[in-house]
Amino acid sequence: MPNYSAVRAEYTEALPGWQLVKRCVAGPREVRKYNEYLPMPDPLNRSEENLARYEQLKKRAMFLNVTGRTRTGLMGAVFRKTAEVELPPGIDYLLENVSGDGASLEQLCKEATGECLDTGRGGFLVDYPKIDIPEGQTSLTAAQTANSRAYIHFYPAESIVNWREDVIDGVKRLTLVVLHEKLNEPSEDGFEFVEKDQYRALMLLDGQYVQRVYSEDSQEGEESIPKDKSGAEFDHIPFHFFGSQNNDASIDKAPLEDLAEVNILHYGNSATVEESGFISSQPTLFITTDIQPDEFVKLNPNGMHIGSRRGHNLGKSGSAIMLQATETQLARELMKDKEQQMLMIGARIVQQSNGAETAEAVRIRYSSDNSVLGTIAGNVSEAVRLALFDAQRFMNGEVDEEGTVFWLNQEFFDQVMDAQAILAQVQLWQQGIIAKADLRTNLRQAGVIESDRTDDDIDADREADAPVLASEPGSNDQQGSVDDEQ
């Protein structure tokens, strides 16, 4: 029986880091489910009292979700503008329904970009419906393929458990990908579900793409050979990796892992500070008396209560003092400590600034983040584009590379354009160096023109306006007046 659930060593080594980031992104409630991130004060003491104290320690500890907030900010920077998309006929349905479940292409890219930030890895599988060509036909008609569509499915890093690349004819090619899937099978009444494991093996056997699905019910695997609408088999695996560094099958470093590590350390420091603050801020009574211990118990059978409703017998001579940490000073120190921790790990939530920063200063300060984010946006865009090519191979039989455009936004900051810069752009247009469309594109990127206003919208509004007396630069009327003067 094939060992279809085998896992690569690189996957096992990287998995704890992926889980750490995803738990941090999920927030405090998810992090507190695991005892590995907050050390127990007395790890050898397994008594109920010590375990109860540990649970209280976790409740008091504050997990400031800097990792999740940073991820949200980076995602917002990429998707602050819509992606540049142009799809040829035949696969234009993918724009609104890319995976067959109603998810749009933009939503698929958001999932992929977020996964790449979390783990530095992921992939797209182009899945084809099974179509049987009737005898006597060499290809399927449009009516026979009307409801048969290729879809693109996203797989996170944790689902890609095994893979292999081999050199074929001097080229490194993907020859195996194993995807771990979770299936929810309903009970007889339909109100309960049983989770089952399924493994989808994508293989390249003798130059032919073969797919096998393994499960507990089918351990030998159910095999299928995907074909395009003409009945031709595929000579490659239609699975495309994307990563934080490049798009090969190797595992890249998770961009948010370093931040998550510091976030967890801050969580541990917070637990220590909150625990010490909780203990030292409690009023503690100290007494001195000449009463013997047994006599003291008789006089105070319920212990000594703190308050003014009853008195206490301290014997012929005795005194009592109350010690308590200064509450306001302790609270200030706790707040300062947390703010400094946020600044140290690069949080953009609380920032100390001596004055207004220029846009260039902000770009320089975040240059490392931008370079990583730009690489991720480019890698995801390239993987999506290759997946769109494979969808075309099934739907259209051929690939229109020039007519297939997909590129995620990489302009993470608004381009500031002052009046002088706008005048310079107009002069370039007047001199014929750039076209009017280029001028308007630059003005859109700078925010001078709204990004959703097309050239047709602008021209339509201009026609509705009152006529301009002066002719446009470069027009025939202007040229004629210049000739008359000469």
* pTM for the model: 0.75
Angle between helices 257-280 and 48-60 (to 10 degrees): 110
Q: Which pLDDT score, from 0 to 100, does residue 353 have?
A: 41
CA angle (316 as vertex; 314, 318 as ends), nearest 5? 45
Angle between helices 9-26 and 66-78 (to 10 degrees): 100
Residue 378's CB is within 10 A of a number of other CB atoms, namely 15
Residue 110's CB is within 10 A of a number of other CB atoms, namely 18
* Nearest alpha carbon to residue 340 among 330, 328, 352: 352
Q: Which pLDDT score, from 0 to 100, does residue 176 have?
A: 96
C-alpha torsion sign, points 402, 175, 127, 140: positive
**Distance from C-alpha of 91 to C-alpha of 149, rounded to nearest angstrom:** 9
**Distance from C-alpha of 195 to C-alpha of 30, rounded to nearest angstrom:** 21
Q: Which pLDDT score, from 0 to 100, does residue 170 have?
A: 86
Q: How distant is the alpha carbon of residue 289 from its chain centre? A: 65
**Distance from C-alpha of 81 to C-alpha of 95, rounded to nearest angstrom:** 16
* Nearest alpha carbon to residue 32 among 53, 61, 52: 61
Angle between helices 327-344 and 257-280 (to 10 degrees): 170
> Is 216 exposed, middle or buried (CB count within 10 Å of its CB: 0-12, 13-18, 19+)?
exposed
Tally the residues of the chain.
486
Collapsing DSSP to helix, strand or coil, 43 comes out as coil
Q: What are phi and psi of 482, to 5 degrees?
A: -65, -40
Q: Which pLDDT score, from 0 to 100, does residue 400 have?
A: 92
CB-based contact 290:319 (threshold 8 Å) = no
End-to-end CA distance of the chain: 93
Q: What are phi and psi of 36, to 5 degrees?
A: -75, -15
CB-based contact 293:299 (threshold 8 Å) = no
**DSSP H helical ranges for 251-307:** 257-280, 293-299
Q: Which pLDDT score, from 0 to 100, does residue 356 have?
A: 47
Q: Which pLDDT score, from 0 to 100, does residue 350 have?
A: 30
Give the burial string for 189-212 (b: 16+ CB within 10 Å, else e).
Answer: eeeeeeeeebbbbbbbeeeebbbb
Residue 127: CB partners within 8 Å, gap ≥ 6?
150, 151, 152, 153
Q: Which one-letter DSSP state was computed for residue 283? A: -
Q: Which pLDDT score, from 0 to 100, does residue 219 have?
A: 81
Q: Which pLDDT score, from 0 to 100, does residue 345 have?
A: 45
Write out the two tokens for 46.
């397994």
**Distance from C-alpha of 243 to C-alpha of 118, rounded to nearest angstrom:** 11
Residue 403: CB partners within 8 Å, gap ≥ 6?
86, 87, 88
CB-based contact 220:228 (threshold 8 Å) = no
Angle between helices 436-445 and 419-430 (to 10 degrees): 160
Ranges of residues in the chain whose predicted pLDDT is under 70: 131-147, 279-283, 305-318, 320-370, 414-416, 467-486
Write out the two tokens for 125.
């599988």
**Distance from C-alpha of 278 to C-alpha of 81, rounded to nearest angstrom:** 47
Q: How far is CA 117 from CA 49, 74, 103, 420, in A?
A: 41, 9, 21, 39
Q: Which pLDDT score, from 0 to 100, does residue 406 have?
A: 95
Write out the two tokens for 47.
């008594």
With the CA atoms of 287, 289, 292 and 294 taken in that order, what torsion angle do they form, in degrees rounded to the nearest 10?
-40
Q: Which pLDDT score, from 0 to 100, does residue 137 have?
A: 59
Phi-psi domain of 432 (left: phi exceeds 0; alpha: psi -120 through 50; beta: other):
left
